[in-house]
Amino acid sequence: MSNSPAAEAARRRTFAIISHPDAGKTTLTENVLLAGGAIRAAGAVRARGENRRTRSDWMKIERERGISVSASVMTFDHAGLMFNLLDTPGHEDFSEDTYRTLTAADAAVMVLDAAKGIEPQTLKLFEVCRLRDIPIVTFINKMDREAQDPIELLDEIASKLALDPAPLYWPAGSGGRFKGMLDLRNDKFLPFAKKTNDNKDEGHPGAIAFHGAAINSYLDPDEQAELEEGAMLIQEASKPFDPKAFLEGHMTPVFFGSALRHFGIDQLLEGLGAYAPPPKAVAAIKGGEPTHVAPGDPEVTGFVFKVQANMDPNHRDRIAFLRLTSGKFQRGMKLKVQNTGRQLSVNAPIMFFASDRELAEEAFAGDVIGIPNHGVLRVGDSLSESGTLRFAGLPNFAPEILQRVRVKDPLKAKHLKKALEGLAEEGVTQLFRPVIGADFIVGAVGPLQFEVMADRLANEYQLDVLFEQAPYSEARWLTGEKADVEDFASKHKSAMGTDIDDQHVFLAKSSWEMGYVAERFPKIGFERSKERA
């Protein structure tokens, strides 16, 4: 096989799984990794009743199954394709992190609970995918439980997401009456096998002809007629699957299954292989001029979408996750960071295969490599051989909750500064320093982030901290003519702060004050998000 960057990129499928909590993202992730050969089944007993609010669903898998998968990406070679599955945090407090991770994905699998359909968090995550033009594959999960009428589920996708659902399969019943599903493209029936009487899962039979004699072993004539009628109805009522409309974000192919019972997973993987897009060209700026970076371009380029500390307690490094956008990366290569001009010899890049980290000898567009470093790399950095290329920055969102953080032992204030800066660089929190006073104000999108912060400060930095209500309720980045911004800042010293990049931030005491000030200073922009320069 040709090893050219273009040919290698063409066989990459880089995707993420999104869902409302409890729809089955963790179970599906685990089963996709199993089906792809990325992990082996482990016999560890699932811990019940444990605190389920983990930072990452993969940590949950790791803890419950005793398998080591705590990486932000898992790579597996399956059916001639290289799949990169990106982990997205499970809890809504981490939506900012999720947003960033989705900048590195070329497609997303949206998991719906067949009994619940579209839930609030599904909708939020869907909006993020739409913002980033990420095509969405739908997996309707838990068919082994009583489900809503599948036609109603498709209607809901159409009405709530304004997306044309195109079912590729059609289910026969649900819950205790779930018998399997019909492949609408070739008239093959996939039987679903219940667990045996002694609760054993013996796998599911292979596909059979829907109109052959063998079908009698799985469906009685009434069930067969009902399925046939349902399939006909839905095909008349919905548009046929159109790969182009899917790639443009107007249509979603719909799969059915049961992640828990490992049913429909191979079909989902097959669908991702056949229809999910390989990496595409990305907009960038080179030498001040807008340009596009194509996956087959010879120059190695990429961007950092996530930085993670302490992935392995034996290594205290931070790992920056670089999504490659072009070229053929080889171990030992030198890459430059565009905004700082720093050069990096990437001698120990990591890829995450089969529950193991491995040194990446080579990687191509679509792949994600982990680069151990000591704070050189930040979220949003653009890396390339020439160092002259910049991808559009990854936005930071204005936090919805601001808190003042204090360390219980005052002698450790210096440590606190370093630790908070570290967490802010990773994107775990946002850090603001008011111009007046010595406070540390940390911002988060949701309350759980503070718990995680306290946990990490205690475990990784041995700092016992207290969070207190901050005298501010909103933070906004200032934009506008430099002179106007400076003038505004000098007039509002008591409400000014700086962020980790030393950019001006206005800290308002209330949303009323925010509105009042914004009205009086029309030349100044008060932005809810900023893109790092």
Write out the residues near ligand G4P by the rule CB under 6 A: 19, 21-27, 46, 48, 57, 90, 141-142, 144-145, 258-260
User: What string of H, E and C letters represents the secondary structure of 319-344?
Assistant: EEEEEEEECEEECCCEEEECCCCCEE
CB of 264 to ligand G4P, least distance (A): 9
The residue (of 92 and 362) whose beta carbon lies closer to ligand G4P is 92
CB of 394 to ligand G4P, least distance (A): 25
Burial zone of 237 (CB within 10 Å; 0-12 exposed, 13-18 middle, 19+ buried): exposed
Helix axes 95-102, 120-131, angle to 10 degrees: 40
Residue that the structure tokens 């990459």 belong to: 12
* Alpha-carbon distances, residue 406 vs 240, 403, 463 (angstroms): 59, 10, 10
By C-beta, is 85 or 407 nearer to ligand G4P? 85
62-71 contacts: CB < 8 A, separation 24 or more?
Answer: 65/30, 66/42, 67/39, 67/40, 67/42, 67/355, 68/355, 68/356, 69/33, 69/39, 69/355, 70/311, 71/311, 71/352, 71/357, 71/370
Q: How far is the CB of 18 from ligand G4P (least distance, A)?
A: 9
Please say which residue, 264 or 327, places its beta carbon nearer to ligand G4P.
264
Torsion of CA 234, 238, 242, 247, to 10 degrees: -110
Tell the smallest beta-carbon distance from residue 142 to ligand G4P (Å): 4
Rounded CA separation 403/127 (Å): 28
- Output the smallest distance, CB 451 to ligand G4P, in A: 18
Residue number with CB closer to ligand G4P (258 or 396): 258
525, HSE (Cβ side, Cα atoms, 13 Å): 9
Encoded tokens for 316: 């205290």
Q: What does DSSP assign to residue 44?
A: P
The one-letter amino acid code at 46 reads: R
The smaller minimum CB distance to ligand G4P, of residues 65 and 306, is found at 65
Q: Decide whether 90 or 434 has the Cβ nearer to ligand G4P.
A: 90
Question: In the bound complex, what is the minimum distance in angstroms from residue 21's beta carbon to ligand G4P?
Answer: 4
Which residues lie across from 442 on neighbouring strands?
Answer: 403, 431
Q: Which is nearer to ligand G4P, 78 or 142 (CB)?
A: 142
| Smallest distance, ligand G4P to C-beta of residue 144, A | 5
